[in-house]
Chains A and B, each alone.
Chain A
Amino acid sequence: MTVPLLEVQDLVKHFPVGGGLLARRRGLVRAVDGVSFQVPAGRTFGLVGESGCGKSTVAMLLLKLLEPTAGRIAFDGRDVAGARGAALRDFRRRVQIVFQDPYGSLDPRQTIVSALTEPLSTLGVVAGRARAVERARESIALMGLDPEVLGRLPHELSGGQRQRIVIARALAVAPQLLVLDEPTASVDVSLQAQILSRLEELKGAQGLTYLLISHNLVVVRSMSDRVAVMYLGRLVEVAAADELFTTPLHPYAAALIQAIPVPDPDAPRVAALARGDVPSPVRIPAGCRYHPRCPYAERVCRDTEPPLATVRPGHLAACHFPGVASRATG
């Protein structure tokens, strides 16, 4: 059995609220509160959740932009904690991220060619300026952009071009794992389809592994092999993509799926299965985190937090009554 490319075990990240030099800590934001999953090489793993669920924090932790409070992250079989110097550089070269805001992700004073060649030198990917520029040109072409954008500044380009440039930048260092954090959030539908199909092609051609983070279930389903649903810092369901979307076991996953308006006037109307608002990670409910919003909550849900357990082969859910939502709606 081969080692998964990425393995996350009991990852925890807590942020103190209030404090500073002399003030007392007032509380704790439990942004990531015990997350475990594995991503085999060559696959796409999707992570879905709404705002405040902690998925972006998971991305930051995976990229070592934040240090975990607890837990283990292993890349290619090796624990990444404490990586320094050359080992850290090697890690950064092999794991890349495309952030949500393509305009903000580029230094406004840097020309595109400079933005693309800088990481090639800081990560020791290519030696020499000429080779670096050549590589930059290749990456740009790979994303379907005209080489003339190389001489431009970010503010001179459109949103779609910028999004493709930050993807090209990440791909130029030839990573093994690419984390995509809401890659189509600020982009129109027609451009979304272009970018996603390109990413799909590149995955095979370049032997990439993707971790796709999004609140857009449709995008996640269309690209992922396996999907995890995150709520208030924990995973509440993990399954193969098709299985999750056809038979979700956790009521929250069912609510997310049912909430998507379908572009078909005769399709069933969206059902608002989740009551109330998305809560804040500062005040996490006792027992099952989802119980205040769950229409099927019972006594046990208020008292005990259900563990993420295997309900069917390859299909995990953290619920005392897995499958109740599917049974209710048929």
Chain B
Amino acid sequence: MSPRAPGPPVLEVEELSLELGIRGRWVQALDRVNLRIERGEALGLVGESGSGKSLTALSVPGLLPANARVTNGAIRVMGEHVLGRSERELASLRARSVAFVFQNPNTYLNPVLTVGRQIAEIFERSPELLDTTGRAAALSRLERRRRARHKSIEYLRLVRIPDPDRIVDQYPFALSGGMQQRVVIAMALARRPHLVIADEITTALDVTVQAQILGLLAELRRQIDMTLLLITHDLGIVAQLADRVAVMYSGRVVESADVRRLFRAPRHPYSRALLLAVPTLHGDRTVFRPIPGSMPAITDPPGGCRFHPRCPEVFGPCAAARPGVATVEDGHTVACHLYGGEG
């Protein structure tokens, strides 16, 4: 692992609370979420559907749905505040600092433009990316287009697309899901963002293609020191790629730790149960250890700790009080009454 470069953390989410307007009521969707990603680090945000991981991710570049409102907290990207910014400032933020890669590449790509044009557009809109000597504005339009195309091919090569000189002129429908996802990653990287947010980017892909994309992401991290916020429900992917992990349940970060610590010694009962519920391929024939019950709907959450109705270690305070966050070791926090904690 490369030594951490100095500078502010790329992403800081502090006590973020968010409410969603559902059927005329405001319900709490995120409850004082705290995240932190240093430069060059990969944070895995893990949770099942309904845990709030996608909402958390969407709030960083300001892509929240219309019925969402932030009630507390701050988000800082490279030290700059994000919440409360105007749409124009956020658009600039998205163009420069934060790149978001979605799950379905074919809904993200414009079907009537070639792949090369779509990447080139990024350079044409931000010509300073083409020319680091600062004379970008002086280039003629023709020259800019030529260079943009050249850069597009370069980025296609970066994401390991075979035969990039030919692919650059293809339309998205001619490409497979895996290739499309690589193109979208290339588009994200072309902006030279400080942070790349990948939201379930391999869920829609076949497993052999997923392996290729995961390999690509690992290589990119090494090659260009990419900072990554990886959102997934798959613990295997997290173990592969992430340096640190944050586990979310029903709108809260219930545990946050170094990836090895989390898998070796998970503290929160939900993290433990989740790890046990995943059948693994190596080792003996698996026994199923399901977690009884299901994640509560955000419109009707249980009182106290939201996990308590399903928790095998539930005791006294769990039903009544919301657990605070405790630091069990350096860099390892848990939100559970078993460990005390405040906040």
Q: Are B239 and A191 in contact (CB under 8 A)?
A: no
Q: How distant is the Cα of A160 from the Cα of B209 in the complex, in angstroms?
A: 28
Verify if A148 is at the interface (C-beta below 8 Å from B): no
A270: which B residues are within 8 A, CB to CB? 211, 214-215, 240
Q: Which of A158, A256, A263 contacts B278 (CB 8 A)?
A: A263
Q: How distant is the Cα of A221 from the Cα of B277 in the complex, in angstroms?
A: 15
Contacts A160-B294, A272-B215 known; A242 to B281 CB distance under 8 Å? no
Verify if A188 is at the interface (C-beta below 8 Å from B): yes
Q: Which of B274, B279, B292 contacts A194 (CB 8 A)?
A: B292
Verify if B135 is at the interface (C-beta below 8 Å from A): no
Q: Are A278 and B176 in contact (CB under 8 A)?
A: yes
Q: How distant is the Cα of A265 from the Cα of B214 in the complex, in angstroms?
A: 14
* Chain B, Cβ-Cβ closest to A245: B281
In the assembled complex, the CB of B165 is this many whole angstroms from the nearest CB of chain A, namely 17
Q: Are B277 and A190 in contact (CB under 8 A)?
A: yes
In the assembled complex, the CB of A21 is this many whole angstroms from the nearest CB of chain B, namely 27
Q: Which of A189, A215, A241, A276 contacts B207 (CB 8 A)?
A: A215
Q: Are B48 and A269 in contact (CB under 8 A)?
A: no
Verify if A156 is at the interface (C-beta below 8 Å from B): no
Q: Are A193 and B288 in contact (CB under 8 A)?
A: yes
Q: Are B207 and A265 in contact (CB under 8 A)?
A: no
Q: How distant is the Cα of A298 from the Cα of B330 in the complex, in angstroms?
A: 53
Q: Are B239 and A265 in contact (CB under 8 A)?
A: yes
* Chain B, Cβ-Cβ closest to A51: B206
Q: Which of B240, B282, B294 contacts A191 (CB 8 A)?
A: B294
User: For residues 109 through 141 of chain A, which have their beta carbon under 8 Å from a beta carbon of chain B?
Assistant: none
Q: Are A258 and B211 in contact (CB under 8 A)?
A: yes
Q: Are B48 and A190 in contact (CB under 8 A)?
A: yes
Q: Are B282 and A277 in contact (CB under 8 A)?
A: no
Q: Interface size bucket, B side?
A: 35 or more
A contact residues, total (Cβ < 8 Å): 45
Contacts A261-B240, A265-B239 known; A189 to B206 CB distance under 8 Å? no
Q: How distant is the Cα of A18 from the Cα of B259 in the complex, in angstroms?
A: 52
B295: which A residues are within 8 A, CB to CB? 188, 190
User: For residues 185 through 235 of chain A, which have their beta carbon under 8 Å from a beta carbon of chain B?
Assistant: 188-194, 196-197, 200, 215, 217-219, 221-222
Q: How distant is the Cα of A192 from the Cα of B263 in the complex, in angstroms?
A: 20
Q: Are B211 and A272 in contact (CB under 8 A)?
A: yes
Q: How distant is the Cα of A290 from the Cα of B9 in the complex, in angstroms?
A: 46
Q: Are B288 and A262 in contact (CB under 8 A)?
A: no
Verify if B179 is at the interface (C-beta below 8 Å from A): yes
B274: which A residues are within 8 A, CB to CB? 189-190
* Chain B, Cβ-Cβ closest to A255: B208
In the assembled complex, the CB of B128 is this many whole angstroms from the nearest CB of chain A, namely 35
Verify if A3 is at the interface (C-beta below 8 Å from B): no
Q: How distant is the Cα of A142 from the Cα of B98 in the complex, in angstroms?
A: 49
Candidate in B179, B236, B295 with the most chain A CB atoms within 10 angstroms: B236
Q: Are B281 and A217 in contact (CB under 8 A)?
A: yes
Q: Which of A188, A218, A256 contacts B280 (CB 8 A)?
A: A218
Q: How distant is the Cα of A262 from the Cα of B283 in the complex, in angstroms?
A: 11
Chain B residues packing against A (C-beta within 8 Å): 48-49, 162, 176-179, 206-212, 214-215, 218, 233-240, 259-260, 263, 273-275, 277-282, 285-286, 288-292, 294-295
Apart from A259-B210, A261-B211, A270-B214: 6 A-B pairs, beta carbons within 8 A: A188-B49, A189-B48, A193-B291, A200-B288, A262-B280, A278-B209
Shortest 8 CB-CB distances between A and B: which pairs?
A261-B236, A193-B290, A197-B288, A259-B211, A194-B290, A277-B176, A263-B235, A50-B206
Q: List 27 A-B contacts (CB under 8 A).
A: A188-B233, A188-B295, A190-B48, A190-B295, A193-B289, A193-B290, A194-B290, A217-B281, A218-B279, A218-B280, A259-B208, A259-B210, A260-B207, A261-B214, A261-B240, A262-B240, A263-B263, A264-B239, A264-B280, A266-B260, A267-B282, A272-B212, A277-B176, A277-B177, A277-B178, A277-B179, A278-B206
